[in-house]
Structure formats: structure tokens, C-alpha cells
Amino acid sequence: MNGLARGFFISFEGGEGVGKTTQIKRLAASLREMGHNVHETREPGGSPGAEAVRHVLLSGAAEALGPGMEAILFAAARSDHVETVIRPAVEAGTIVLTDRFMDSSRVYQGVTGGLDPAFMAALERVTVNGMVPDLTIILDIEPEEGLRRASARRGEGEDADRYEKEQVAIHRRRRKAFLDIAEAEPERCVVIDASAGEEDIAAKVLETVRAKIGVLDDAKAGAE
């Protein structure tokens, strides 16, 4: 078994319809074939407490409470997710792949929600509690194409969630915000073109992850 002494935490970020779920499943399968223990999860959700909050957030039921209260609900869900799922798994040597994490809050509640950066930073610090991803993969695509894909993947009779219904201009702002995060934190974030074919994207994701895990393994070996 190719287990790691300490696991590895990878978050996938990006706008609507970029293909995060598909790429997480493909990456998980590849890593398992290599002998790694892998746990796939998502936000909001991923733990019993967080899943209880998920429907309230995505249905828009909490929208009337204002962006500040929504951010606090996201934070409560994330805290439960971190402490009951992510941290124990990483400490046990598992590679954790999450569909969205702290950068989504920075973008959705912070940038387009108009919340104060200091408030968002304080909320993130308490919520994440040091559990920052080792690697964040930002899947990038033109918002119009992402929304088209999001619409195409929905089943018959399935409604768009509250975020997919928003105006294209808002989705453009979010795309820029994700790219700004990647530029500000290049050691953690890698941007991958999500307009390419699924196979090409999966190959690039796997290449990126293998290189990053190798760097960390080398650093650990040097420290021993």
C-alpha cells in the first residue's frame, strides 16, 4: 500500500458547471489504483451536521437572512466537516478530495456577497482552524459555457439551484475572484482550463497532484 504518513488535502474550486464532481471522481479512481486511501467529500455538506445545513443553503431558504447569516451557516457546516471528517482522515494518512472549500466562501459570500473582508477572514480562520488545503485546483471556464453545462447535466424536472439562476455578470465576477486567489497564492493554487476535453483535464489534474505529493514527500524525507 502506498499510504502517506500524513494524508493530503485537496480542494476543487471554480464556478458553476466547471466539472468538479467529474474530475474528483476520476482523480479518486486514479489515486486508488496507485494504492492510496482516498475520501471524497463536498461542501456544503460532507458530514452529518453539515449535510443538515446543505439544503437550507442551496434551496435559498436562508437567503432572506442576509449574506452575513448565510456565511455563518456555511462556516458552521464547514467547522463540523473539518473536525469530524477532514482532519481525522488526513491525520490517518488519507487523501481527502473536497468539492468546494474556503475559497468558495471567499468568492460567493465575500466578493459577490459584499461581506467585509475582515469579517470573512476572521470567520475563515476560526472555521478552518489550520486545516488549509495542501493543494487547490481551480477549474476555469467561461461562465456562459459553465452555465450551459450545468443546465445540460440537470435531470428532467430538476430545478437549478440558487447560484445557477444568478445573472451572468455575477458569474463573471466570481470567475475573476477565483483567478485572483490563484494569483495571490500560487504555492497552493493551480488553475486548469476546464474547457478542454474531460480526458485532457483529468490527465492535467493527475499530473498536478502527483507532482505536488512528490514535492511534499521529498520535503518530509529531507526533514527526517
Q: Where are the domains of the chain?
A: 8-223
Place of cell 448565510: 70
* Mean residue pLDDT across the chain: 88
**pLDDT confidence tier of residue 156, bands split at 50, 70 and 90:** very low
Residue 5: per-residue pLDDT: 67
Residue 219: per-residue pLDDT: 43
* Cell numbers at 82, concatenated: 473539518
Q: What is the C-alpha radius of gyration for the chain, rounded to an integer number of angstroms?
A: 17
Length of the chain as a residue count: 224
Closest CA to 117 of 58, 189, 184, 53: 184
Residue 211: per-residue pLDDT: 93
Query: Between these two residues, 6 and 29, which has the higher pLDDT value?
Result: 29
Separation of first and last alpha carbons in the chain: 21
In this structure, which CATH number among 3.40.50.300, 3.50.50.60, 1.10.620.20, 3.90.1150.10 belongs to the domain 8-223?
3.40.50.300
pTM strictly above 0.85: yes
Question: At 83, which amino acid appears?
Answer: E
**pLDDT confidence tier of residue 224, bands split at 50, 70 and 90:** very low
**pLDDT confidence tier of residue 121, bands split at 50, 70 and 90:** very high
Q: 10-27, pLDDT tens digit by residue?
A: 999 999 889 999 999 999
Query: Between these two residues, 152 and 48, which has the higher pLDDT value?
Result: 48
| Arithmetic mean of pLDDT, 43-70 | 86
